[in-house]
Amino acid sequence: MANVTVVGAQWGDEGKGKIVDWLSERAEVVVRFQGGHNAGHTLVVGENVYKLSLLPSGIVRGTLSVIGNGVVLDPWHLRDEIAKLRGQGVTITPDNLHIAETCPLILPFHRDLDGLREDASGAGKIGTTRRGIGPAYEDKVGRRAIRVCDLAHLDALGPQIERLCAHHDALRAGFGEPPIDRERLLADLREIADVVLPYAKPVWVSLNDAKQAGKRILFEGAQGILLDVDHGTYPFVTSSNTIAGTAANGSGLGPSGAGFVLGIAKAYTTRVGSGPFPTEQDNEIGERLGTRGHEFGTVTGRKRRCGWFDSVLVRQAAAVSGISGIALTKLDVLDGFDEIRICVGYRIGDRDYDYLPPHASDQAAVEPIYETIEGWSQSTAGARSWAELPAAAIKYIRRVEELIRCPVALVSTSPERDDTILVRDPFAD
């Protein structure tokens, strides 16, 4: 039985939460390997709705859930999210939640800096969630970060805090903000340490043990490949690598552990925040897609921009992330359209492209080249087999496969976990 790595094949919000939950019933370990609490997953389990932004999706089913070293961890948000889920009846203990000892922490001044930069950027805003994700990753790369393991050695943290604060005090001064209160920071860390440390583990050991024992491991990515700091629509990206390869260095398991790479893509396209969006429909079609798809961010509540399916971008995402198969979600949102359009290429001036150029000015100038496909009037909502789908819907799925050069492994037809058509079992590969 293979491990499975789940990644978003667009700009995030593709429905990874439901698919991970659907797969986690057979997984024995679920791992978050990058990002922070800026990524929202909504799980619908029976009559219960769980909204997660930091904890791995497997936690609601009692599956061993691991937060890997590639994640940046806000310990106060962790405390609050655990409390919220416990209030919904979810059992969370050090037996079913492990956090990498080497996770960098998101601290209060990281959130401050995130907001200050966005407010000062004017029209150049990136559209961050203002949760301190980027500044925390900057400190990790700059070798200034305070990590989970440091919470067990706070008495020895003085020189590290001074180095970290010296960097941030200079940045804060540029925004007219006062220096960081060192004593308050240390007091806050002492207070939260008892919350985090019981879950701290050398997760690379437990994951390698699980691999040796033949256990099925499910790696859960955050955001989407098009927000990858290297491969996404830079600079309108997140601050980490979101591609499947990050599962290796973000967990400590190694590249051979990734297994089947399942990319999640909506049957149309959405995006939150700023940045290029070639197929965006800022019109009645976009409103219809957004209304039917309930397109509001799980974490921020922001309304998502909506548009037609962009096969060029999904093909590009599949290539750079080594996607083995696609889970196509929200097919039912397209029910009732007389015609459906798919972007099959780009045009800038008199030149055609079969990929998205890397420069922001070129991306902003892109004009989509569309192919029009017949729609369907019948409902696909709740379908669990090919026989329940209209012929035109199947034709649409097959055309998507051809254009993205990647097979469709799953089709999701509603938020309910069992409303899923299994074409190819990722865990069986």
Give residue-wise pLDDT tens across range 3-23: 999 999 999 989 888 888 888
pLDDT at 350: 94
pLDDT at 129: 78
Residue 243, domain CATH: 3.40.440.10
Q: What pLDDT, in 10s, does the model give residues 296-327?
A: 866 666 789 999 999 999 999 999 999 999 99
pLDDT beyond 60 at 1? no
205, 83: one domain: yes
pLDDT (average), residues 362-391:
96
Pairing type for strands 408-412 and 420-422 reads antiparallel
pLDDT band at residue 207, thresholds of 50, 70 and 90? very high
Catalytic center residues: 13, 41
Domain count, the chain: 3
The pLDDT mean for the chain works out to: 93
Residue where a domain terminates, one of 144, 173, 196: 196
281, 402: one domain: yes
Residue 414, domain CATH: 3.90.170.10
* Domain span at 58: 4-103+200-260
pLDDT band at residue 164, thresholds of 50, 70 and 90? very high
User: Do residues 251 and 70 lie in contact, with contact meaning Cβ atoms separated by under 8 Å?
Assistant: yes
174, 83: one domain: no
Q: What pLDDT, in 10s, does the model give residues 34-64?
A: 999 977 777 777 788 888 999 998 899 889 9
User: Do residues 119 and 128 lie in contact, with contact meaning Cβ atoms separated by under 8 Å?
Assistant: no
Amino acid at 168: H
pLDDT (average), residues 406-426:
91
Query: Quick check: helix, strand or coil at residue 307?
Result: strand
pLDDT (average), residues 360-367:
94
pLDDT at 115: 87
For the ranges 85-89, 286-290, 413-417, the lowest mean pLDDT is seen at: 413-417
pLDDT (average), residues 377-404:
96
CA 372 vs. chain centroid, Å, equals 30
pLDDT (average), residues 158-185:
95
pLDDT beyond 90 at 124? no
pLDDT at 89: 94
Can you give the pTM of this predicted structure?
0.93
**Could you tell me what percent of the chain has a pLDDT over 90?**
79
272, 250: one domain: no
Pairing type for strands 217-220 and 339-348 reads unpaired
183, 41: one domain: no
**Could you tell me what percent of the chain has a pLDDT over 70?**
98
- Cα gap 43→15, rounded to integer Å: 9
241, 326: one domain: no
Residue where a domain terminates, one of 222, 237, 260: 260
Pairing type for strands 260-266 and 29-32 reads unpaired
Residue where a domain terminates, one of 145, 170, 196: 196
Structure tokens at 409: 């492994």
Residue 160, domain CATH: 1.10.300.10
pLDDT (average), residues 369-375:
97
**Bridge partner residues of 266 (DSSP):** 329
99, 210: one domain: yes
pLDDT at 300: 62
pLDDT at 297: 67
Comparing CA positions, the residue from 42, 6, 37 lying closest to residue 330 is: 42
94, 219: one domain: yes
244, 273: one domain: no
Structure tokens at 218: 């499910």
pLDDT at 299: 60
277, 370: one domain: yes
Q: What pLDDT, in 10s, does the model give residues 261-272?
A: 999 999 999 998
208, 279: one domain: no
The phi, psi pair for 127, rounded to 5°, reads 95, 40
User: Do residues 355 and 403 lie in contact, with contact meaning Cβ atoms separated by under 8 Å?
Assistant: no
211, 70: one domain: yes
More confident position, 429 or 405 = 405
- Cα gap 263→100, rounded to integer Å: 25
Number of Cβ atoms within 10 Å of the Cβ of 192? 17
